[in-house]
Amino acid sequence: MPRLFGTDGVRGVANKELTPQLALKLGEAAARILGSSSQNHTRRRAIIGRDTRISGDFLSAALAAGMASGCVDVIDVGVLPTPGIAYLSSILNVDFAAVVSASHNPMQYNGIKFFQKGGYKLSDNTEDEIEALLDQEWERPINAFVGRISYDAASAQRLYIQHILDSVIQEAHEPLHGLHIVVDCANGATSHVAPEVLQRAGATVTVINAAPDGRNINDHAGTMHLETLQTITKAMKADLGVACDGDADRCLAVDHNGTIVNGDQIMGILARSFKNKGLLKNDTLVVTVMSNLGLKLALRDMGITTVQTAVGDRYVLEEMLKNDYSLGGEQSGHIINRYCATTGDGTLTALMLACEVAQSGKTLEELASAFPQLPQELINVRTKRKREAFTNTIIQEAVHAAEEQLGETGRVLLRPSGTEPLVRVMVEAVTDEQAHEVCQSLASIVEDALK
């Protein structure tokens, strides 16, 4: 059987792969592992929250029921960004937290992920321990030892909003005064959070896609669909636009011309700012293998080192904790500021980026121009033998030859898909033509070798 937990929790089509029965079992197992003393009938506490998709209602109810059956008192904080749940689990006296969300995925999907005490995502080993208990019989607590479920959405949202503002704004003033910002909330979990944060910071805010109805989350909105944000930002002559995804753990932006500013460029802007303020520990930014080489080259000229990890913000954070780095993230917009967050936080990133625009006196276009992106081509090669791409002699010789051809101003990345029978072949080069030529040639060799 394939592993139930993926790179970011358990996900699937709601009520098909991800059923209320599975959510109930996950709640029970999490109570036994993360609230381990509950097996001794010692009451534990947990927080649960969700994004705006309609299936979140029954899945969070089932998940909370499973936790409560395991001697855990559950505080349901309703709709709140994933990083908000992580933050609350770090400041409140709880043993763990859970989020019902499928992040940037379409409405029909949903997911369940857990945070351990302190607001950190679980290790692979802990997830495996939870999965191993799903179908095991166990002695359930009875009588007064079962947990209770309470509800407190208003306090949770208020605490989280104040935390974001306090993390960036050190004095009682409005640093974004004079800025006009368009914010796309993806009809998701930050629909009430991001607009209030930016307004309280002094910006004039135009809000789009902030009317969730349970069905429209990420629907032609948010980080996966920036077209509307681009059009409105340019038409309204706003200073910049920012977009979050459904659970608001990522952020992308557009400048006043409607040009996209991706996660790599946002990280570059923030890394340079952190370094200038003496906040970039070890003068290092943590990125994944998907970050554009242009970011690395630009930062190198600024005296900033980049360290690469596997794809996934959990691996970025692991590296940051291991070597005490302060800033890291992904091209997709997951950006972690370890001074005030334990996971990617789209609303926090939007506020930090807007403050940098205001404080620098430069446009977002000018700030992003310091981090040009090298042309990139990606080809998916379909094969059932995807793992052999890293041991096949012909492929490895071809990769080496391509790397020699590209030199220091290009790179090659082969990566197996985590869910599909694909090998992703990615090439970056100085020109579009070179990236296309090398990628096509290499993809052809991979396809022939893995037939």
What angle, rounded to 10 degrees, do the helices at 153-168 and 346-360 form? 30
Catalytic residue check, 103: yes
Among 179, 180, 186, residue whose Cα is nearest residue 228: 186
The CA distance from 196 to 192, in Å, is 7
Residue holding tokens 């302190």?
Answer: 118
Residue owning tokens 């570059």:
268
Cross-strand bridge partners of residue 98: 48, 114
Nearest alpha carbon to residue 379 among 333, 415, 346: 415
Closest by Cα among 106, 165, 100, 130 to 26: 130
Q: How far apart are CA 184 and CA 186, in angstroms?
A: 6
Using alpha carbons only, give the angle 234, 354, 220 rounded to the nearest 5 degrees.
50
Burial class (CB in 10 A: 0-12, 13-18, 19+), 393: exposed
d(CA 70, CA 57): 20
The secondary structure of 221-244, three-state, reads CHHHCCHHHHHHHHHCCCCEEEEE
- 91, two tokens: 């400041």
Q: How many residues does the chain have?
A: 451
- Burial classification of residue 172, based on how many CB atoms lie within 10 Å of its CB (0-12 exposed, 13-18 middle, 19 or more buried): exposed
**H-helix or E-strand containing 372?**
none
Q: Which of 55, 69, 89, 103 is catalytic?
A: 103
Residue 272, helix vs strand vs coil: helix
Distances (CA, A) of 194 to 99, 223, 242, 334, 347: 19, 14, 10, 16, 6
Q: How far is it, in rounded angstroms, from Cα 233 to Cα 239?
A: 8
- Report, as residue numbers or ranges, the catalytic residues: 103
